[in-house]
Structure 1
């Protein structure tokens, strides 16, 4: 378990050490190589953010179209309401229709809450597309200019 946590760290250190050694050996192209590497790292990071935002939007849209079901059954809700009767002294008892209408309202409220959460998630996920996409486009154009020269 510890090895799985430490392994990516050591791989990253080895990659950085390899890049530094290659840049030192090739003094003329070292700066150029570091520029290329930086450009590709920014392109990779921004592309991963855009892909992650797209996946998140897809998942939130699925929750919006078909929200997760409410898990409390009517019988559980009814038992809870009946147990509240014993703690309420001097109040009138709820009829079966009242309990059913409260349960239906609870389900509607929960479904609306799930839909609101899905819309909120879509808006947040758009940030993972709208913010890094211009950076990706800029660095991709910069990469093309570097390759042409």
Structure 2
């Protein structure tokens, strides 16, 4: 009877070790994919899709409704409008890069947290902890 319990305990331990390794490995793989995607977003951020014509139209519609920018004039010339548009694009690109950096940090956590657990359990299996019968 005690021999049967030892065998069952060895089998349960083996399943536990391998399941833990599988789960932590999947977490590391998912985090690695996130890291690659975040680095790609930092290197080549998603472009801003509003064209200057759309921006100008939006600005004229706002003024047509009687609304102006805070401290702004009722009529904005083309050059000023173009400068505002370029500034908006620059700020959007910076925000995109900042979001990608934030995502990179989160993805690195998905790699760095389960990796030591995976390595520990892998060593347990290699020591023979997973093959006790």
TM-score, scaled relative to structure 1? 0.77
Of structures 1 and 2, the one with the larger relative CO (CA 8 A, separation 6+) is: 2
Using the alignment, how far apart are the partners of 1:129 and 1:42 within structure 2? 15
Question: Which residues of structure 1 form unaligned runs of 5+?
Answer: 1-25
Task: Write the distance in 2 (CA, Å) between the matches of 1:104 and 1:80.
Answer: 15
User: How far 1:148 sits from its partner (Å)?
Assistant: 7.2
Paired position in structure 1 for 2:8: 30
2:96 is aligned to 114
Residue 23 of structure 2 corresponds to: 45
Aligned positions, number = 124
- Structure-1 residue corresponding to 2:35: 57
Tell me the residue number matched to 1:100: 82
More helix by share: 1
Runs of 4+, deviation exceeding 4 Å: none
Q: How well do the aligned residues superpose, as a CA RMSD in angstroms?
A: 1.9
User: SS at 1:50's partner residue?
Assistant: helix
The 8 Å contact of residues 10 and 130 in structure 2, kept in 1 or not, is answered as: no
